[in-house]
A and B are shown apart, each in its own frame.
Chain A
């Protein structure tokens, strides 16, 4: 019963998409408001169907209905409930269903949120989203159908989801964040397509476009960071980023999305770069599809890769259709998005934005080449090779430095043309702050050039960031407003500016933390008998014993390690090795003791005879700040969504009327 019902829902959703796409384009071309109303209703219907299909799948998973093929392949009665719920995205078919759900919800979201004032664009946008929906609907109806009836007798129990999914709570959050980022990129893409078809990209459409672009970029930031954090907490190598093809696949649209956000700012301020912004958004979308292809087709080797699947060629077909459509559409319509003439100087805010775009695109291209090189090498010479970390680090680190420095220089520069002395003053003033950063790092004991250099750049950029964000408030204070009111007013007035600089602050935190953690990590290892000791830095570790914990779906060996920090008791760490029923090799669970300045990271490498263990301890300074920085970045993007309000000047006088406190000095 459930398989039939589920398939019916999915087929109905596919049908809605297949009708919605042409109706959307026709309504757009004929500017028919009746047509638009129909398309909007279909968008809501599409979302309703996909929500029902997903709930039905969840119901089947939770009730262990093994008559549904997907449940039979990932379900297990021994799996805890919360893992069963999230095993919706633990395997191919379920993840495509989840994908379809998100696309439908985004489509309905656009239909609801942009319903007023954007009739010209909305029908085309929804039509494009439906066109993308056709492909995923087709996958769900056929090759990746999660609701197939189980063949040949219903099994009593299933194998359970991928052990990697079961190992850590971050794995529950990381995939949906990335999916939200990937699928979310369809919305700005569809909006850019609408702009091209309409032949104009004015400020009224640019603002919602920027907002909808912020959505996937924020989710990608979170998703990428959570993936790194997960990898750090689970994979047990003490690192968080390996330039794995699938990591790169999520990094690429993020980079281009960031570039597009910045070029959209220039467009908004100066009316230039319209075509460029549009092209970037299109590339960002194509990169999400390329990423999906790389992840889901099995053509690259990766911890993430699903087994070689039949949908690989279909995804390639879809990528081909998308690329051809984008190239044809761009070449036919790009000239309609004429930019306003400009004669801006290179040493200006716009110049810095351009350079930022250039660097981001270069970095994208580099990472793309490195990611695809193994595929090209295989096609040309019939070999599988890895390009590996050395290549990526050599290329990405200098560009990263340049980008962070530009984050300081760019905002310091004035918009438009300015005379030489203004430019020089703007660029030179923050240099003392850079020197302070350098000195701070040097007195803290940093000797590696990359940490010193990063600290100098960070000091410079921090100064500019605070100076810029505080500028309107300072002007208000000079006009006599109290500091708190001035700050609140300027925040109210321009939440986007505050959000943007808060995001910059997050990037600086992350960047400095990456530099410090990458260069100052140190480790110690040893084979310990019970009672044996290992010393690393300020920590003395005493191994007590190994415990065996048998759970229904796994057997864990946990080493109890007593930790002393500077001679006093700091806690007990229990790194473990987990043996899953469905996997031959054990998976480690490192144990981490966090502090503000550094992490102590323990890995149980093996359990030997006589209760001895192989332990590896890593002390990584600043690593926690990488995640904090990304949270700050995302908080910044959230602030950008706060609608700008009027300032709050005179109210102060009314709030404190009694006079026992001076409202203004």
Chain B
């Protein structure tokens, strides 16, 4: 009996299998963030056509702020959901995307293929992402009329949660 092999095998295999098993749990997608209830960090960023956009421009309207990237697989999944919501809530809710570690060419490709639901703002050096405490994409922040972050969805947004949050905000 080689105890070293047994111990190493068990140490590697056990957590692996546990995590894989946990991956079957239903995923609530909605978690708390320390930013909830605080003022949304202001930003002024350039969109793909080099137009300047500020969070302040949307004051008075609830805002859906989505951090995403073209290389991010869940972002592909949620794109249609966001596009659909942006169409239905046009005029009532502002939809803004902030690009996370990606380049404009790929973003344009992504939008051309999967649809565009709002401005995609370039975030050089990821300053805005850091201000919002983003640690992976996609993350979606919901900012109310007064500029307060009232909700956050980590991971791809699904139709039902998005609908529920938007209805609360309006």
Contacts and interface: CB of A to CB of B under 8 A. Distances in A.
Interface of A: 236-237, 242, 244-245, 279, 293, 297, 299, 301-302, 312-313, 316, 319-320, 323-324, 326-328, 330-332, 334-335, 372, 375-379, 381-390, 523, 525, 584-585, 588, 605-606, 614, 616
A523 B105 contact: yes
B156 interface: yes
Given A242-B71, A332-B1, A386-B72, A299 B20 contact: yes
A385 B134 CA distance: 11
B34 interface: no
Given A244-B73, A372-B16, A585-B114, A383 B136 contact: yes
Contact of B17 (A323, A326, A376): A323
A384 B154 contact: yes
B39 interface: no
Interface in B62-77: 69, 71-77
B6 to A, nearest CB: 4
Given A384-B155, A386-B72, A386-B73, A379 B31 contact: no
8 contacts: A299-B23, A330-B2, A375-B22, A377-B136, A384-B156, A385-B136, A525-B108, A584-B80
B164 interface: no
A381 B33 CA distance: 12
A523 B101 CA distance: 20
B91 interface: no
A242 B102 CA distance: 14
Given A301-B73, A379-B19, 10 more contacts: A301-B156, A323-B16, A327-B13, A330-B9, A375-B23, A386-B69, A386-B74, A388-B137, A390-B101, A585-B113
B71 A389 contact: yes
Contact of B155 (A323, A383, A525, A616): A383
A381 B109 contact: no
Contact of A375 (B2, B5, B19, B135): B19
A386 B105 contact: no
A385 B155 contact: yes
Contact of A383 (B19, B31, B77): B31
Contact of A299 (B3, B16, B24, B109): B24
Contacts of B146: none
B170 interface: no
Contacts of B13: 323-324, 327
Contact of A605 (B6, B23, B25, B113): B113
A429 to B, nearest CB: 41
Contacts of B101: 388, 390
B29 interface: yes
The 4 closest A-B pairs by CB, nearest first: A385-B136, A327-B9, A384-B155, A379-B22
A384 B113 contact: no
Given A327-B10, A386-B72, A334 B5 contact: yes
Nearest to A379: B22
B17 A614 contact: no
Contact of A378 (B23, B76, B109): B23
Contacts of A242: 71
B113 A588 contact: yes
Given A379-B22, A382-B27, A388-B72, A301 B10 contact: no
B20 A375 contact: yes
Nearest to A236: B113
B28 interface: yes
A476 B2 CA distance: 49
Contacts of A388: 69, 71-72, 101, 137
B160 interface: no
A372 B105 contact: no
Given A375-B19, A378-B23, A384-B27, A331 B2 contact: yes
A353 B107 CA distance: 43
Nearest to B69: A388
B123 to A, nearest CB: 14
B2 A334 contact: yes
Given A327-B5, A388-B71, A523-B105, A381 B112 contact: no
B21 interface: yes
Interface in B121-170: 135-137, 154-156
Contacts of A334: 2, 5
B27 A381 contact: no
Contacts of A389: 71
Nearest to B18: A379
A194 B21 CA distance: 30
Given A293-B20, A326-B9, A386-B71, A335 B2 contact: yes
A616 B71 CA distance: 19
Nearest to A384: B155
B105 to A, nearest CB: 7
Contacts of B18: 379
B112 to A, nearest CB: 4
A384 B72 CA distance: 11
A542 to B, nearest CB: 21
Contacts of B25: 379
A606 B112 contact: yes
A477 to B, nearest CB: 49
A638 to B, nearest CB: 35
Contacts of A335: 2
A55 B37 CA distance: 63
Contacts of A379: 18-19, 22-23, 25
A127 B135 CA distance: 48
B19 A327 contact: no
A605 B112 contact: yes
A316 B20 contact: yes
Contacts of B22: 375, 378-379
